[in-house]
Amino acid sequence: GAYLAFRRLWRMMQTPVLLCVVACLAACAGYLLDWATRMFIVFRETLVPSNQLDEARPLAYACVCFSFVMASAMLTQFLCPLAAGGGVPEMKTVLSGSINPALLSPLLVVVKLSGLVLAVAAGLSVGKEGPLIHVSCALAELVMAMPAFRYIRVNAPHRLEILTCACAAGVAASFGSAFGATLFSVEITSTCYIVSGLARAFATATVVALIYWCWGTEVISGLFSDNVSQGMPFAPTDLLLWALLGVLCGLVGWAFVSAISGVSQWRNRITRSALGPKVQRGRRLMICALFTTLVIPLSYWELRYFERWSTTGQKALVDHLFAPRVLGVSYELALFVPIKALAILLSVTQPLPVGLFAPVFLLGAAFGRLFGEVARYANLSMGLMHLTFQPWEFAVIGAAALSGSITRAVSTAIIVFEMSGENCLRLPLGLAVLIAHTIASRFTKGAYDSLVDTNSAPYLPTLPPQAYLVEVESIMVPAANLPFLSLSTTYSAASRLLRQHTPTTCAVIPVVQTVTDMVLVGAVLRRDLELAV
């Protein structure tokens, strides 16, 4: 009971846990690399101070550098020659399916990192992105070798997916960026990319970027003196609130997609093509008339209370919701969320040429703003938490998270980041969108995918996540109903068995040690058995 429940929970959680562990290890590898490099450069500076190069003999500098490089070369050539090279070409071959265990060994991790540190400290003009990608993959492989993750390891496509995520983590560990890193890893390691894995790769890279951000940028020497540190810092409460907003948006997204899908199914049943084109057309027009009649009071309400912002489409209203000034927790804002949700539901399900992104974005903005204003009110009046983010920033995050959970596209985070141009919102956006995406994915498909289903378009379905949790026990045929042989079965018993069972039900016949202990020792093809009998 309890053990089974735990096992089911673990089956569901093992991939996220594994990816978090991989992200942590990649971040640690990146940190260790930078720290060791700095230590070695300090060591070199004590031997040959670079601000006294004129006085110091150039030969001393040359000797130190030369010995560093040769140490790196010896280490590589004697201990693990496979560690030589950048790592990207190697990972490209690994991800194309030909996994060479020697390429992902623990020894390689040690040699690759220390060789790189020596090479950088020697003043060679070299980078760390390839080695970090390679090391991240090797670390992921190591973690997967643990018994807890054996189900992932034996599942070859899943194992490759985890390695892809590890590549993204490696790139994120060398650049400290999340969105670009994921794509960079896709571009340099894949030829044909399974898009469903993108969210996981994004998540892994975002965890790495988050860890780096928590450590502070002065710890990590990226390529830039990162502007992130000049942006707004955040309190742990902010992190919790982003996550909570993500969870809520995920739940709202789930409810919304289910509602759209339900109304669309009802609409399609009413206007099914068996009725003939004329009746179908009439009923479609009637649905438009009915839904519009229901929407008009809602849009009238919206127009009266938000008249200043609603007249020129939805843009001005979004601007209002994203305005830096304080709006306060108002009756209108709280009412706006359910009313708008109903209006969207009745608008986008009409058989008209309409999209759903912009209104959902607006709904998310209102929801996030409400959330932000409530958090600010709680903060001010009760002093429950320490907040650095403003309500309008929660509005931006909410808009991205809700659109992300409904369209099931994590790139919503990039779109909103690009459009807002606010660098300090990068991580919150990524985090909230990923959480909303994950929560919503547990329950339903995305809005576009579920519309593919309800419109019965010619498209191959994907298996629901529940399919991966089916236990063998629930679909197996009990051994008692199956033909089997034991090691002591006689020829006559075997030929009787062959006569009793048709070839279709038992092409392969299991062989057990004895009839009492039922230890499986092998199997025999029916064809071979027939020849033998």
* Minimum distance of its own copies from residue 136's CB (angstroms): 13
What residues pair up with 520 in beta bridges, in sequence order? 512
* Binding region for its own copies (CB under 8 A) out of 7-15, 43-51, 374-382, 517-525: 43-51
Told to check if 96 binds its own copies by CB under 8 A, we report: yes
Say whether residue 110 binds its own copies (CB under 8 A).
no
User: Which residue reads 């009409």 in tokens?
Assistant: 350
From CA 460, how far away is CA 470, in angstroms rounded?
21
Which of residues 18 and 111 has its CB atom nearest to its own copies in the complex? 111
Residue 90 sits in the site that holds its own copies (CB under 8 A): yes
Amino acid 165 reads C
Closer Cβ to its own copies, 390 or 513, answer by number: 390
**CB-based contact 232:423 (threshold 8 Å):** no
Query: Which segment (245-253, 324-332, 360-368, 378-386) binds its own copies by CB under 8 A?
Result: 360-368
Q: Are strands 508-512 and 485-486 parallel, antiparallel or unpaired?
A: parallel
Q: Is 140 in the site for its own copies (CB under 8 A)?
A: no
Binding-site string for its own copies from residue 382 to residue 421, where x marks contact by CB under 8 A and - marks none:
-------------------------xxxxxxxxxxxxxxx
- Rounded least distance, CB 60 to its own copies, Å: 11
Query: 143 or 406: whose CB is closer to its own copies?
Result: 406
Among positions 463-522, residues that touch its own copies (CB under 8 A) are none
344 binds its own copies, rule: CB under 8 A? yes
CA distance linking residue 115 with residue 75, whole number of Å: 7
51 makes contact with its own copies (CB under 8 A): yes
Tell me how far, at minimum, the Cβ of 383 lies from its own copies, in Å: 32
Of 26, 169, 360, 497, the one binding its own copies (CB under 8 A) is: 360
* 3-state secondary structure at position 266: helix
Task: Please check whether residue 95 is in contact with residue 45, taking contact to mean a CB–CB distance below 8 angstroms.
Answer: no
CB of 12 to its own copies, least distance (A): 23
140: left (phi over 0), alpha (psi -120 to 50) or beta: alpha
Q: Which of 348, 387, 397, 402 binds its own copies (CB under 8 A)?
A: 348
In 3D space, the residue among 223, 254, 228 whose CA is nearest the CA of residue 417 turns out to be: 228
Residue whose CB is less far from its own copies, 21 or 65: 65
Distance CA 234, CA 198 (A): 27
Classified as helix, coil or strand, 129 is helix
The DSSP call for residue 114 is H
Q: Which is nearer to its own copies, 431 or 509 (CB)?
A: 431
For its own copies, the closer CB: 42 or 523? 42
The least CB distance from residue 134 to its own copies, in Å, is 8
Name the segment binding its own copies (CB under 8 A); options: 338-346, 471-479, 492-500, 517-525.
338-346
Shortest CB 163 distance to its own copies, Å: 15
Part of the chain binding its own copies (CB under 8 A), chosen from 235-243, 369-377, 457-465, 510-518: 457-465
CA 337 to chain centre: 28
Cβ closest to its own copies, residue 196 vs residue 514: 196
Query: How many chain residues bind its own copies (CB under 8 A)?
Result: 154
Distance in angstroms (rounded) separating the CA atoms of residues 2 and 24: 30
Tell which residue, 162, 181, 128, 166, has the closest CA to residue 430.
Answer: 181
Please, which of residues 300-319 interact with its own copies by CB under 8 A?
Answer: 300, 302-304, 307, 310-315, 318-319
| The Cα angle at residue 166 between residues 160 and 169, in degrees rounded to 5 | 155
Question: From CA 408, how far away is CA 440, in angstroms rounded?
Answer: 8
Rounded CA-CA distance 37/219 in Å is 12
Whether 245 contacts 398, CB under 8 Å: yes
Q: Is 257 in the site for its own copies (CB under 8 A)?
A: no
3-state secondary structure of 252: helix
Could you say which residues in the range 274-293 bind its own copies, by CB under 8 A?
281, 284-285, 288-289, 292-293
Nearer to its own copies, 149 or 336 (CB): 336
In the list 136, 350, 438, 441, the residue contacting its own copies (rule: CB under 8 A) is 350
CB-nearer residue toward its own copies: 11 or 92: 92
DSSP class of residue 56? S
Residue 31 in contact with its own copies, rule: CB under 8 A: no
Is residue 354 at the binding interface for its own copies, with CB under 8 A as the rule?
yes
Contacts with its own copies in 57-76 (CB under 8 A)? 58, 61-62, 65-66, 69-70, 72-74, 76
Please report how close the Cβ of residue 446 comes to its own copies at its closest, in angstroms: 8
Nearest to 256 by CA among 333, 342, 321: 342
CB of 483 to its own copies, least distance (A): 40
The single residue among 57, 77, 150, 233 that binds its own copies, judged by CB under 8 A, is 77
- φ/ψ of 233, rounded to 5, equals -75, 170
CB 72 within 8 A of CB 84: no
- Minimum CB distance to its own copies, residue 466 (Å): 19
User: In this structure, are strands 508-512 and 520-525 parallel, antiparallel, or unpaired?
Assistant: antiparallel
Kindly identify the residues of this chain, within the stretch 142-171, that bind its own copies according to CB under 8 A. none
DSSP 524: E
* Residue 244 interacts with its own copies (CB under 8 A): yes or no: no
- Distance, CA of 367 to CA of 414 (rounded, Å): 20
